[in-house]
Structure 1
Amino acid sequence: MTQPNRTDDAVKDLVRQHWNDRAATFDDASHHGIHTDEQRERWLSVLREWTGDDPLRALDVGCGTGVVSLLLAELGHDVTGVDFAPEMLERARTKAERADRSVAFHRGDAESLAVPDDAVELLTARHLTWTLPNPSTAIDEWQRVVEPGGDILLIEGYWDHDEPWDEYEAIHDELPMYDGRPPADLREFLARNGLTEIEHEPLSDPALWGREPHHEYYVMTGTVPR
């Protein structure tokens, strides 16, 4: 029997439940957490290449356990992390305290941020768009909080799993970008939603993921029009 469409709130509740349940072990996977000095240095190199040397006001949306947030802070950026799952945020705060990094972490909805207009120069999101019921709304919202001429940096991929798992079994049909997208598709999506100067680069180095990558990973940036 076909299930009726759920409201966005119901979909988001299941997304939050999924990531709360995974928070305690999320960083254990080699491709999620940072486990070696080599892995950390490779991620710092990638982020430095795409963000530049000057300190930026940065917002890390869907920050999870704070992996990217803490790397950006290590590079000297002024970072705030936002996530929908409180258990993820608790782990991010603990990691920031242990690393002596000044990163503010707040609970928030990626599609409706409690952030003023033009508040940051850089917005980052890692493996987030596939979890959103309204990714076009999110891109509009991200452009609102990034000042004109600032950048949106996405670490994304195309994993094309055989079957949805856990809570996603019930809601994957209501997530337009479920399973990620190939770079050409995401590039078209970002351009259609107003970003300019879109660039991307594969992230195929095993050192980044602690193993040979099983999927097509990449970084993509787009500029908010002036």
Structure 2
Amino acid sequence: MDPSDPSIQRIITSYWDHRAAAYTAAQHRTEREELDRGLWVAVWRSALPAPPADVLDLGTGGGHAAILLAELGYSVTATDLSHGMLDQARARAAGLADPPRFALDDAVRPTQPHRSFDAVTSRYLAWTLREPEAALRRWHRLLRPGGTLALVDASWFPRGIDANPTEGFAEHYRPEVREHLPLAEAQGIEETAAVLERAGFRDVELTPLREVLEADRRWGTVPGHEPRLQHLITGRARRYGVRRAGAGDVEAMRAVERAAGESFRALGMEPVADDAPPAAEELARHIAAGLAWVVEEDTARGRAGAAGYLVAEWLEGSLHVEQVSVDPAHGGLGLGELLLERADREARALGCGELTLTTFAEVPWNAPYYERLGFERLDDARADPELLRIRRAEASHGLDRWPRTIMRRAADGR
């Protein structure tokens, strides 16, 4: 199975739909309810900004964290792919003055608006993620600059999933499923923390939840599980800013282009990977015209240098994006989107109606990516003469060895 195959998640979700009522009841046992509330209030308060911050709780299950955070005054959106779990969560939240907003959504590919949350939380979700690094890079994009990721998990199955006796568990998390869940049988929580770091989070910290372990030993945990030391894992979203490029950025922009070009090699597009970056004189021309921008990370030591760049030119009726590139070391964090938003604002400020660009039609991070950002494909028969001139120049450069397309987007970015 391919990890992106939806059948994998359907198998997982069917288990949690079946287990929703029993699992949620085990999470809310009367004899330890007051103790648990105190423990988890302390955990989340230690990690999150003060309420009323905007929090997204991913894989909310029966709403354990989401409901508690709403009670503490946070503005909470909570998502899950299990209808059964969401039913449990909504029932438990009934009667709250300001309950979480529950929604059906995939934590691996969340559809929530980018840069809309001060914090993202998850509890007992990381171990069952398909493609965890890709998922966490998407979580990074959901956070506002400097926002907090706070997740709780443990190495639940160091002896393997088959050791869990819960009815239906091993049958659903069968070998062809678990092979695509890299953290499911992790030997240590450090493997999860390493994923956060690879996904671009800063200041990743592991905090052992020893009081939770003590409570589990005293009162027992969810059936099928042994008491395990859980950890709070926190990280910070990087802060990036876009500014107009200056003459001193030329060589950094060329370095970004060389690094970004290497991604094409894996697709058998060696001539693109080997193509020289834009000449310094060409970039200087865009900079002098005020149509070049760089995106860079803000760190405690100051700005870290260009992580991506965009150059453009004015055409009749549009701002044409000639090139937008991001260093793969900063990939998957929404920097291309930030650059396009800046170009979009520039176009609107000067009364320009749309953004245009040309790109490879079938490369995943080209046309399909731009379509997700609201661009539409425009066939040559509908293109104006200036865009056709650009297409002819690309063809003369040999780029038509692979399908190319013209794209456009209204200059309101949506």
Under a length normalisation based on structure 2, what TM-score does the superposition of the two structures give?
A: 0.50
Structure 2 residue corresponding to 1:174, chosen from 173, 180, 203 = 180
Q: Tell me the CA shift for residue 52 of structure 1.
A: 3.9
Q: 1:155 maps to what in 2?
A: 152
1:21 equivalent among 15, 18, 21: 18
Q: Could you say what secondary structure the match of 1:80 adopts?
A: strand
Cα 1:215–1:37 shift into 2, 3 Å = same
Counterpart AA for 1:51: L
C-alpha deviation, 1:102, in angstroms: 1.7
More moved, 174-183 vs 68-77? 174-183
Q: Aligned-pair distance for 1:169?
A: 1.8
Give distance in 2, aligned partners of 1:80 and 1:172.
Answer: 28
AA in 1 matched with 2:185: D
Task: Tell me if structure 2 keeps the 8 A contact 1:27–1:34.
Answer: no
User: 3-state SS of the aligned residue for 1:121?
Assistant: strand
Determine the C-alpha separation between the residues in 2 that align with 1:86 and 1:12: 13
Tell me if structure 2 keeps the 8 A contact 1:73–1:102.
Answer: yes
Distance 2:57 2:45 in 1: 15
- The alignment covers a number of residue pairs equal to 221
Matched, 1:63 2:76: no
In the other structure, the counterpart of 1:41 is 38
Give the distance between the partners of 2:3 and 2:200, measured in 1 at CA.
28
Give me the identity figure in percent: 28
1:70-102: CA deviations, max 9, x gaps? 111111110010001011001101111144442
Q: Highest CA radius of gyration, 1 or 2?
A: 2
Unaligned 5+ runs, structure 1: none
Q: Which moved more, 1:4-13 or 1:20-29?
A: 4-13
Higher relative contact order, chain-length normalized (CA < 8 Å, sep 6+) = 1
Q: Distance in 2 between matches of 1:66 and 1:133?
A: 21
Could you tell me which amino acid in structure 2 is paired with residue 33 of structure 1?
H
- Aligned residue number for residue 187 of structure 1: 193
CA contact (8 A) 1:156 1:180 kept: no
* Matched AA of 1:69: A
Q: 1:107 aligns with which of 104, 107, 111?
A: 104
Quote how far apart the aligned CAs of 1:184 are.
2.3
- CA 111–6 in structure 1, closer or farther in 2 if over 3 Å, else same: closer
The 2-side partners of 1:132 and 1:59 are apart by 17
User: Is the Cα contact below 8 Å between 2:71 and 2:96 reproduced in 1?
Assistant: no
Q: Distance in 2 between matches of 1:100 and 1:161?
A: 44
5+ long unaligned stretches in structure 2: 163-169, 240-414
How many angstroms does 1:146 deviate by? 0.7
Indicate conservation of the 8 Å contact 1:149/1:224, yes or no.
Answer: yes
Aligned partner of 2:232 in structure 1 is 219
Q: What is the aligned-residue RMSD (CA, Å)?
A: 2.0
Distance 2:5 2:130 in 1: 7
Find out whether 1:11 has 2:8 as its counterpart.
yes
2:179 aligns to what SS in structure 1?
Answer: helix
Maintained 8 Å contact 1:61/1:82: yes
Q: CA deviation at 1:166?
A: 2.7
Secondary structure, counterpart of 2:119 in structure 1: strand
> What is the TM-score when the length of structure 1 is the normalising length?
0.90
C-alpha change, 1:180 and 1:87, in structure 2 (3 Å) is farther
1:203 aligns with 2:209: yes
Please give the alpha-carbon distance, in whole angstroms, between the structure 2 residues aligned to 1:86 and 1:201: 32
Following superposition of structure 1 onto structure 2, how do residues 57-136 of structure 1 map, counting pairs within 5 Å? 57-136=54-133
Equivalent-residue separation in structure 1 for 2:47 and 2:68 (angstroms): 13
Aligned-pair distance for 1:185? 2.1
Q: Name the CA distance, whole Å, in 2 between partners of 1:39 and 1:155.
A: 14
- Matched residue type, 1:103: P
- What one-letter code is carried by the residue in structure 2 that aligns with 1:178? A
